[in-house]
Amino acid sequence: MSEQLRARLFEALDQIVLVDPHTHINAHAPASTTLADIMGYHYYTELAHSAGMPIARIEQEGLDPKEKVGRLVEFLGTIENTIQSSWLIEMVQTFFDFPDEAITPDNWEALYDRSRQSMAQPDWAETVLKRSKLSAVFLTNEFDDALEGFDTSVYVPCLRTDDLVFHLAKPEVRTRLEKAGGIALGDLASLRSAIGKLFEHFVERGAKACAISLPPDFAPAKIDKGAAESALTEVLRRGPDASGEQLGTLSQAVFWMLAEHCSEHKLPFDLMIGVNRGVYAEGVFQGRDLYDSRVSLIQYRELFNAFPQVMFPISVLASVTNQELVSYSWIFPNVLTNGHWWYSNTPTYIAHDAAARLEAVPRTKQIGYYSDMYKLEFALPKFAMYKRILAKILAERFVVDRGWSEERAIALGTQVLRGNVDAVFGPF
């Protein structure tokens, strides 16, 4: 009975056409061309490496894609318990009619060849989008991306700002900003003007959000003009050799400026809170970041109060921060819950965190899920995982525990899966 109820709710949620509000898709190469694009996803390389695969085996210069997949397959057995492995299997079963329950040294080659053929179809990306019921996906664009050569109604630009806030001291970042902003950096006014140009360009090209990932010790603050000006001067003069204090002050000043521009341009500002970069220095590409879960949204108190007109869809890296996110979203009109990020994007944590949100945050303020994918094929299994968990929560906590009708539960699920994406970022 309860299993059937879950299944019915899942079926209903699975009909929804989705807009994926956060991905790392390259709009010029959105889908995979070989299985190496899929299995080269950092989730697989880092798990395989964690299970014992030497990095050199997969990050070898000029490694042939097929050879790379063959090497990764050797380690799939050690990670088949992971939910990431289940995404892979569901993906190849769905897109390439893979008939087995595991990819092994015995069956991978046939899969590789068959999938190669599918991916070689000229309309493969469209096929994947359609099969995945995706009408649009957000990108993660460098601030100096030209945003040209793709359909921005399907591949929606999003201004990613980590470099501006944390790496402006690097000569190459400064140069890129001066070029994209059309002005030489000198004082705060020039910086503001350059950043303003980025926003204008992005908004003109259909950007629907500004986004940034933040380390656990970051605390936004409005910086006094004099202090900001002198920090900028120092950083422009000394680059990465500027003092930690000056670098930190400039980070805060730039961050605040971004919030001001979001306000002016009515762009939501996605905050992804809690990551420490490069913790495992010898890790695989994109597999070096971890975190300190001792972070609090109290660090964002000044920001949330200062920008009541800016919407802040917030992702937290650790599940232990989720209750704060629930509470802050319940109190602050401009704070929203946004997806289940990275290390919290596994069923145990999604189930606990999503249930808490669904029962205490206004239904209009929850962006249920985004895929965070690098290649289009991942949306289907990742969203399917989320929809199964969502169906279970709706079945148990709303239909059974609270006596809701199935229709009402499905409407709630539909809103967090799609409706709020439209309302917060859209229309699409």
8 Å CB contact between 342 and 351: no
Piece of 62-70, 82-90, 132-140, 227-235 that binds its own copies (CB under 8 A): 82-90
Binding test (CB under 8 A) with its own copies, winner from 248, 268, 283, 339 = 283
Sites for its own copies among residues 6-45 (CB under 8 A): none
Total residues contacting its own copies (rule CB under 8 A)?
Answer: 76
Question: Which member of 20, 46, 260, 270 binds its own copies (CB under 8 A)?
Answer: 46
Binding mask 89-118 for its own copies (x = CB under 8 A): ------------x-----------------
Q: Which of residues 370-399 bind its own copies (CB under 8 A)?
A: 388, 397-398
Please tell me whether residue 402 binds its own copies under the rule CB under 8 A. yes
CB 4, min distance to its own copies, A:
12
Q: Using the rule CB under 8 A, is 344 a contact of its own copies? A: yes
Q: Is 309 in the site for its own copies (CB under 8 A)?
A: no
Tell whether residue 301 is a contact of its own copies (CB under 8 A): yes
Q: Which is nearer to its own copies, 49 or 68 (CB)?
A: 49
Which region, judged by CB under 8 A, interacts with its own copies, from 31-39, 156-164, 237-245, 288-296?
A: 288-296
Nearer to its own copies, 34 or 84 (CB): 84
How far apart are CB 108 and its own copies at their closest, in Å?
Answer: 19
Pick the closer one to its own copies by CB: 63 or 320. Answer: 320
- Regarding 79 and contact with its own copies (CB under 8 A), the answer is yes
Among 13, 31, 47, 164, binds its own copies (CB under 8 A): 47
